[in-house]
Protein backbone atom coordinates (compact mmCIF):
# COMPACT_ATOMS: atom_id res chain seq x y z
CA UNK A 1 0.00 0.00 0.00
CA UNK A 2 1.24 3.49 -0.84
CA UNK A 3 0.07 6.50 1.16
CA UNK A 4 0.62 10.15 0.28
CA UNK A 5 0.50 12.65 3.12
CA UNK A 6 0.02 16.31 2.23
CA UNK A 7 1.20 18.80 4.82
CA UNK A 8 1.74 22.52 4.61
CA UNK A 9 5.03 23.09 6.44
CA UNK A 10 8.05 21.02 7.30
CA UNK A 11 8.92 22.49 10.69
CA UNK A 12 9.82 19.30 12.50
CA UNK A 13 7.02 19.67 14.97
CA UNK A 14 4.42 17.18 16.09
CA UNK A 15 3.09 16.19 12.67
CA UNK A 16 6.52 15.23 11.35
CA UNK A 17 7.10 13.18 14.49
CA UNK A 18 3.76 11.41 14.02
CA UNK A 19 4.68 10.50 10.44
CA UNK A 20 8.07 9.15 11.52
CA UNK A 21 6.44 7.15 14.32
CA UNK A 22 4.01 5.60 11.84
CA UNK A 23 6.87 4.63 9.55
CA UNK A 24 8.75 3.13 12.51
CA UNK A 25 5.68 1.11 13.58
CA UNK A 26 4.98 -0.16 10.06
CA UNK A 27 8.61 -1.23 9.72
CA UNK A 28 8.79 -2.85 13.17
CA UNK A 29 5.71 -4.97 12.55
CA UNK A 30 6.48 -5.76 8.91
CA UNK A 31 3.44 -3.96 7.54
CA UNK A 32 4.03 -3.29 3.84
CA UNK A 33 3.19 0.41 3.71
CA UNK A 34 5.19 3.01 1.77
CA UNK A 35 4.69 6.61 2.92
CA UNK A 36 5.45 9.65 0.81
CA UNK A 37 5.14 13.13 2.29
CA UNK A 38 4.62 16.26 0.22
CA UNK A 39 5.33 19.55 1.97
CA UNK A 40 3.92 22.67 0.35
CA UNK A 41 6.60 24.80 2.01
CA UNK A 42 10.03 23.26 2.47
CA UNK A 43 11.23 24.52 5.79
CA UNK A 44 13.59 21.93 7.26
CA UNK A 45 13.09 19.10 4.74
CA UNK A 46 16.81 18.27 4.77
CA UNK A 47 16.69 17.71 8.53
CA UNK A 48 13.62 15.51 8.11
CA UNK A 49 15.49 13.46 5.50
CA UNK A 50 18.47 13.11 7.85
CA UNK A 51 16.25 11.56 10.52
CA UNK A 52 14.75 9.17 7.95
CA UNK A 53 18.27 8.09 7.04
CA UNK A 54 19.42 7.90 10.68
CA UNK A 55 16.66 5.40 11.49
CA UNK A 56 17.06 3.50 8.20
CA UNK A 57 13.44 4.09 7.30
CA UNK A 58 13.14 2.85 3.76
CA UNK A 59 9.33 3.05 3.96
CA UNK A 60 9.02 6.85 4.17
CA UNK A 61 10.31 9.57 1.89
CA UNK A 62 9.72 13.16 0.90
CA UNK A 63 8.32 13.65 -2.58
CA UNK A 64 8.60 16.85 -4.53
CA UNK A 65 6.00 16.02 -7.16
CA UNK A 66 2.34 15.20 -6.90
CA UNK A 67 1.27 12.17 -8.92
CA UNK A 68 -1.87 11.01 -7.16
CA UNK A 69 -2.44 7.94 -9.32
CA UNK A 70 0.58 6.29 -7.63
CA UNK A 71 -1.19 6.16 -4.25
CA UNK A 72 -3.86 4.05 -2.61
CA UNK A 73 -4.63 6.77 -0.05
CA UNK A 74 -4.18 10.54 -0.01
CA UNK A 75 -4.28 12.12 3.43
CA UNK A 76 -4.28 15.85 4.08
CA UNK A 77 -3.11 17.04 7.49
CA UNK A 78 -4.35 20.54 8.29
CA UNK A 79 -3.78 21.55 4.65
CA UNK A 80 -6.80 22.98 2.80
CA UNK A 81 -4.65 23.47 -0.33
CA UNK A 82 -5.08 19.74 -0.88
CA UNK A 83 -8.66 20.30 -2.07
CA UNK A 84 -7.33 22.07 -5.15
CA UNK A 85 -4.79 19.39 -6.07
CA UNK A 86 -6.19 16.01 -5.14
CA UNK A 87 -5.97 14.70 -8.69
CA UNK A 88 -9.33 12.96 -8.69
CA UNK A 89 -8.56 11.02 -5.52
CA UNK A 90 -10.74 11.06 -2.43
CA UNK A 91 -9.11 12.74 0.54
CA UNK A 92 -8.83 11.62 4.11
CA UNK A 93 -8.52 14.54 6.51
CA UNK A 94 -6.43 14.51 9.65
CA UNK A 95 -6.76 17.30 12.13
CA UNK A 96 -3.75 18.01 14.32
CA UNK A 97 -3.77 21.75 14.96
CA UNK A 98 -5.08 23.27 18.14
CA UNK A 99 -5.27 26.74 16.57
CA UNK A 100 -8.93 27.49 15.89
CA UNK A 101 -8.12 29.90 13.04
CA UNK A 102 -6.22 27.12 11.23
CA UNK A 103 -9.24 24.84 11.39
CA UNK A 104 -11.83 27.26 10.03
CA UNK A 105 -11.72 25.57 6.60
CA UNK A 106 -13.26 22.44 8.13
CA UNK A 107 -16.59 24.25 8.54
CA UNK A 108 -16.80 24.52 4.76
CA UNK A 109 -15.75 20.98 3.91
CA UNK A 110 -18.39 18.97 2.13
CA UNK A 111 -18.43 15.39 0.94
CA UNK A 112 -18.19 16.78 -2.59
CA UNK A 113 -14.80 18.36 -1.84
CA UNK A 114 -13.50 15.15 -0.29
CA UNK A 115 -14.49 12.93 -3.24
pLDDT tens per residue across span 21-62? 999 999 999 999 999 999 998 889 999 999 999 999 999 999
Range of the domain at 98: 2-114
Flag the least confident range among 17-21, 63-67, 79-83.
79-83
Quick one: how many helices (H) and strands (E) in the chain?
3, 5
Indicate the number of domains in the chain.
1
- Cα gap 57→97, rounded to integer Å: 26
pTM: 0.85
Residues 6+ apart with CB under 8 A from 47: 12
Q: How far is 77 from 96, CA to CA, in rounded Å?
A: 7
Please report, for the domain that includes residue 99, its CATH number.
3.40.50
Amino acid sequence: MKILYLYKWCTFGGVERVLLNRALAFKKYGIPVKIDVYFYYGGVINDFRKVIKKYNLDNIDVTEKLDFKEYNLVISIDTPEAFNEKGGKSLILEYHTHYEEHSSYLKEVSQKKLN
